[in-house]
């Protein structure tokens, strides 16, 4: 990835220490957290194999009033979505369409089920490990199912505190507003056009091109998404 001015992004110029994000950062409203997670890192040491990527695509799911959320009012609090109700900073991991793991970061105050789906990463460390886990398929981590496979994330990490190994949400870099794209959400039927998807423009780790619009995504794309965990 290169920015529009031709310069590389800051994460290609050196890596910071693995400092977990402060809890106050994650206790904010899900839309604020989702935007600010761009440029932060997800670090995995699952089974002793270190992999790391910078977050370049996310989607927000905003609690009871969001019909696309797993904790929408019509669903309520269940065994499956219990982690979404807090505390903030824990991983909500679920299987999509019975095939692909997806990882979310729980945000907001306890009792208010908000979460950010991590949709895309640019690999920073452990690319050979990611490639092996992905069976040589590319892209490595563009799409929530792909990134979970690349980082070794499974349902065993549901409820995990993301301030500690083997899965850590770590400090990274800030992304300027000019470098951020906003769109509707991918692969959902209800409230798909809400502008809750944030991504880093021109990043190879993003699963949909700049300017993608859910209103133009037909049944064929939705079926392809089901099959590929993209």
Q: What's the average model confidence in pLDDT over 133-147? A: 97
pLDDT in tens, 58-93: 999 998 999 999 999 888 899 899 999 989 999 999
Query: For residue 50, is the peptide bond before it cis, meaning its omega torsion is within 30 degrees of 0?
Result: no
pLDDT attached to residue 1: 57
Query: What is d(CA 54, CA 8) in angstroms, rounded to the nearest whole number?
Result: 14
CA angle 137, 207, 65 (to 5 degrees): 130
pLDDT attached to residue 4: 60
Q: What's the average model confidence in pLDDT over 186-200? A: 94
- Class of residue 22 by CB neighbours under 10 A (exposed 0-12, middle 13-18, buried 19+): exposed
Q: Where are the beta strands (DSSP E) in 72-214?
A: 91-96, 100-107, 114-125, 163-164, 167-170, 180-183, 197-200
**Overall pTM surpassing 0.85 (yes/no):** yes
pLDDT attached to residue 209: 81
Tokens of 209: 């091109």
Q: What's the average model confidence in pLDDT over 184-209? A: 93
What does the mean pLDDT of the chain come to? 90
pLDDT attached to residue 225: 38
pLDDT in tens, 104-126: 999 999 999 999 999 999 999 99
Residue indicated by tokens 């604020």: 32
Specify the fold of 16-207+218-228. Answer: 3-methyladenine DNA Glycosylase; Chain A (3.10.300)
Residues facing residue 51 across a β-bridge: 44
């Amino acid at each position: 990835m290169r920015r529009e001015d031709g310069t590389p992004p800051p994460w290609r110029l050196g890596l910071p220490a693995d400092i977990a994000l402060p809890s106050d950062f994650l206790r904010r409203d899900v839309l604020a957290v989702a935007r600010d997670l761009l440029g932060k890192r997800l670090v995995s040491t699952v089974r002793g194999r270190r992999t790391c990527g910078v977050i370049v695509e996310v989607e927000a799911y905003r609690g009871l009033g969001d019909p696309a959320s797993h904790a929408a009012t019509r669903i309520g609090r269940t065994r499956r979505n219990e982690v979404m109700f807090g505390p903030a900073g824990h991983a909500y991991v679920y299987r999509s369409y019975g095939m692909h793991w997806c990882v979310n970061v729980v945000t907001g105050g306890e009792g208010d089920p908000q979460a950010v789906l991590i949709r895309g990463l640019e690999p920073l460390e452990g690319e050979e490990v990611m490639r092996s886990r992905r069976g040589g398929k590319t892209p490595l981590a563009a799409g929530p199912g792909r990134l979970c496979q690349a980082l070794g994330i499974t349902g065993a990490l549901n409820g995990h505190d993301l301030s500690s190994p083997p899965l850590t949400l770590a400090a990274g870099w800030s992304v300027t507003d000019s470098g951020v794209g906003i769109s509707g959400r991918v692969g959902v039927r209800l409230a798909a056009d809400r502008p809750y998807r944030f991504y880093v423009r021109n990043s190879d780790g993003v699963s949909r091109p700049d300017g993608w619009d859910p209103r133009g995504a037909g049944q064929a794309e939705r079926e392809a998404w089901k099959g590929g965990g993209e």
